[in-house]
Structure 1
Amino acid sequence: MKRFANFSRTVSATPARWQSITDPAQLPGVFAKAAKEGHTVRAMGAGHSFTPLVQTSGVLLNLDGFQGIEEVDALTHEVTFRSGTRLWQIPRLLRPYNLALANMGDIDRQSLAGAISTSTHGTGLAFTGFSGMVSGLRITLADGTEMRASPTENADLFQAARVSLGALGVITHVRLRCVPEFMLSAVERVEDIDQISKSFIERSRSTDHLEFFWFSGTSRALVKANTRLPAGISAPNAPGKVSTWLNDELLSNGALQAICTLGALRPQLIPRLNRLAAAALSERKHTGQWYRVFTSPRRVRFTEMEYALPLESFGTAFAEFRAYLAKAPAPVVFPIEVRTAAADDTWLGIASGRPTVYLAVHRYVRDNVPEYFPAAERILRRHGGRPHWGKEHSLGASQLSALYPRFADFQAMRSTVDPQGLFLNEHLRRLLVEEV
């Protein structure tokens, strides 16, 4: 039987049936048949979550056949996408309308529905994650009813469905607030880790998009600052080939793969490999189209944990995390990534109700460091952190309910629209219903 595996190959499943969806009209029949057979239903996006959100022995839906734009509002810049649309397709789809997404992360492989459902985000304190850009959606519920939801129509369902983990139904259409297309001027500098960690929050308030990457055990961080510019300006300062190769390969691809592989085989070399990687980081400046600057290819298989912290907690939390890494018996090669985002008002958004700083830790899939993520999680939880829904964490419903003021409202909505748990798997039951 055909198996499902996520990007990192750390989550797999053998569904009883794969179902390709090319028209939402198929969904009521699929749901009724699954319920009659005693199967649950999960909708997969691109498989880029590191958690078992779509793991199922029941019916697995694939919406890759339902992609593209259905409607563009020229006055409001709101665009209605079919939910199977991948993020990497969106720039091409928006180009005829001279529009852009307000923000993006550095990975664009996800489906649009998957990105909003897991609270995926980019960076910048003036910009929300994807779910905060949503102005309306259509969702098919367990009984086959198609519902429209927006701030003025089925408003509670709208608030719950924007970050729903696929637990309320199958989202078929997403209306996003887009913006006029723009360019980005990117400046990448190598800075002392003490300097950037102390100034990061304040600098984030005055920079459109600011983030940094740091190889643990070293004193050097790569700081990336992107400034928004009007569309169509010339881009004379293209990055040099050497600096582009050094930074992109060290942070994402071939060179990182090489040192990760060596580190997994010879863990005693990891501190030296991190110093070598940090020493090779270089500075560059360039200007390019919004999506080209935001995103970069990721070819190294890794898994990730990311926690969303209140801005005021960052300094203490990061210092504590650095202290742990300084004495950790088995550090990792992958760089640590730090970003920010604006607050939103989604019920389960990881930036819900507060401007947020994100601290992401990564692990090469062959690394043998079982204590790394649990140790990071203990530290970040002490400082009010919320786990990214699509990335590794150990929390269950009782712990999550303390982090989200509207958690009980979400649970009530889920029980109302899916009383039989058609869209639940074991992982979602642990997160949203009960500890198992």
Structure 2
Amino acid sequence: MSTFSNFAGTVTSTPLVRRSIGSLDQLAESLDAAQLAGHSVRTIGAGHSFTALAQTDQVLLDLDGFAGIEEVDALSHEVTFRAGTRLWQIPALLKPFGLALENMGDIDKQSIAGAISTGTHGTGLKFTGFSGTVTGIQLMLADGSRVRTSKSENAQLFEAARLSLGALGVITHVRLRCVPAFMMHAVESIEPIESLTRSFIERAALEDHLEFFWFPGSPRAQVKINTRLPADTERNAPGPVARWVNDELLSNGALQALCSLGAAAPRLNDRLSRFASRVLSDRSYTAHWHEAFVSPRRVKFTEQEYALPLQHFQPAMEELRRYFSSAPSPVLFPIEVRTASADDVWLSTANGRDCVYIAVHRYIRDAAPKYFADIEALLRPLGGRPHWGKEHSLKAEDFAQLYPRFTEFRQLRSAVDPEGRFLNGYLRSLLGAG
């Protein structure tokens, strides 16, 4: 037996069986064995979720050995990936075909199946999260049967499988809508948080990709704007030394040092936040799409993220600023704000509405147990939906109020997995499953 631990080290378990899958035959054998033994099955990608979605003391499977591209449609630009493909592998896989992902977040460690199963997203009101770009999914169900799904084939199952939390079966293939490759011009600048809050939603509608990072309670924020350019645009990006200084030494090394100091002496957090916001600097560069989207994240943290209707962004920021002004900040880690276009994915946080995401983080050594609960209490009344892979306190009865298709998802899950083979205790609390 080997111990499983997520990225932050906050969720651990010791599965009875842990197996790396390299083929569909191996997967079928593992599911057959689990069924005979009466064991539940969970799958794991990078372990980058902060919740207990993958936690199990029975069977844990990873599909790292089942990666790569199986099919590319030259006309539609739809690409079928094996489920274990990691996001960081995709740029090199797509390069020979002159293609790119429509959008990405700033972390690329996840598997493609894990990314769509938890609602991973980037930023930009012209773009959906990963699940919204899915045009086909292949699953292996608990009985070993292989099912193809799309808008025209097993359509109901497809709608549920686009964001399923791994509760329907094991995803084996994901077909994504891709786009012609492009370059990106990235601009990072420091702006006053007050004026940024007033203009952010309007600017987000105009820019390709806009986001900002705000150290709690500080008067300034770091703003990042990525603008899409033709694929033949000349690359003008920092060299390896300059990139290391900015991304590793300043962004990760300095953040690690500040977070460690703040965890040891929380009374200093406000001053440290102001210091951090003052020393951040402007920069701009032109790079390949994936280089501009992704940033290294070395400092260990936990995270909570809520998706709000766009019109509730300013009230949310006013609540947050009031919260941080009323008492010393309990944390130092920056708050991240992004947007996404509405989609029709049943369990997507952007289902039926354009949304703004507010993500709060805690350094893993921060002694601030009430922080996430406090922020959740501010954002839930504003129509907030929590990210499925990040910390929250909601249960099935809450989700039934937040998602119009939640009951249909539960019914379909019960139909395809009546024995609850793909459930764990955490999922039972989320879905209200017996």
Q: Which TM class, normalised by the smaller chain length? A: over 0.9
Aligned match of 1:82: 82
Partner Cα separation in structure 1 for residue 124 and residue 93 of structure 2: 24
Deviation at 1:32, TM superposition (A): 2.4
Q: Which residue of 1 aligns with 2:388?
A: 389
Aligned to 2:318: 319
Instruction: Look up the SS of the partner of 1:71 in the other structure.
Output: strand
How do 1:270-281 residues align onto structure 2 when only pairs under 5 Å count?
270-281=269-280
Shift of 1:60: 0.2
How far apart, in 2, do the equivalents of 1:255 and 1:37 lie?
50
- The amino acid across from 1:373 in the alignment is F
Counting only pairs closer than 5 Å after superposition, residues 345-356 of structure 1 correspond to structure 2 as 345-356=344-355
Counterpart position of 2:72: 72
1:260 aligned residue: 259
- Pick closer, same or farther for the CA change 1:17–1:194 going to 2, 3 Å: same
Does 1:309 find its partner at 2:272?
Answer: no
* Cα deviation code 1:193-243 (max 9, x no counterpart): 001111100000000000000111211111111110000211346489779
Larger deviation, residues 282-291 vs 322-331: 322-331
CA apart distance, 1:26 = 2.4
CA distance in 2: counterparts of 1:245 and 1:192, whole angstroms: 25
Answering whether residue 427 of structure 2 is matched by residue 428 of structure 1, we say yes
**Cα 1:247–1:110 shift into 2, 3 Å:** closer
Q: Give the Å deviation of 1:246.
A: 4.8
Q: Percent identity?
A: 60
Q: Does the CA contact (< 8 Å) of 1:212 and 1:337 recur in 2?
A: yes
**Cross-structure match for 1:298:** 297
The equivalent residue for 2:124 is 124
2: CA distance between counterparts of 1:118 and 1:184?
27
Residues 1:47 and 2:60 aligned together: no
Shift of the 212–241 alpha-carbon distance from structure 1 to 2, 3 Å rule, reads farther
- Answer whether contact 1:77 1:179 (CA < 8 A) is retained: yes
Alpha-carbon distance between aligned partners in 2 of 1:52 and 1:218, rounded to the nearest angstrom: 33
Q: What amino acid maps onto 2:203 in structure 1?
A: R
Report the TM-score when normalising by structure 1.
0.97
Structure-2 residue corresponding to 1:214:
214
**Mapped partners of 1:239, 1:261: distance in 2:** 29
Please say if residues 310 and 357 of structure 1, whose CA atoms lie closer than 8 Å, have aligned partners that are also in contact. Answer: yes
Q: How far is 1:33 from its partner?
A: 1.7
SS of residue paired to 1:402: helix
Residue 19 of structure 1 and its aligned partner are, at CA, apart by 1.6
Answer yes or no: is the 8 Å Cα contact 2:267–2:328 preserved in 1. no
- Match of 2:402, SS? coil
| Larger displacement relative to structure 2 (137-146 or 199-208) | 137-146
Identify the range of structure 1 (103-112 vs 137-146) with the bigger mean alpha-carbon deviation: 137-146
C-alpha separation in 1, matches of 2:248 and 2:19: 37
Cα shift at 1:82: 0.2
CA distance in 2, matches of 1:33, 1:97: 39
Q: How far apart in 2 are the matches of 1:398 and 1:343?
A: 23
**CA drift at 1:343:** 0.9
Residue 39 of structure 1, CA deviation: 1.2
1:176 aligns with 2:181: no
Instruction: Give the deviation of 1:55 after TM superposition.
Output: 0.1
Question: How big is the shift at 1:331?
Answer: 2.3
* Native 8 Å contact 2:340 2:350 kept in 1: yes
What is the deviation of 1:407?
0.1
Match of 2:32 in 1: 32
Q: TM-score, normalised by structure 2?
A: 0.97
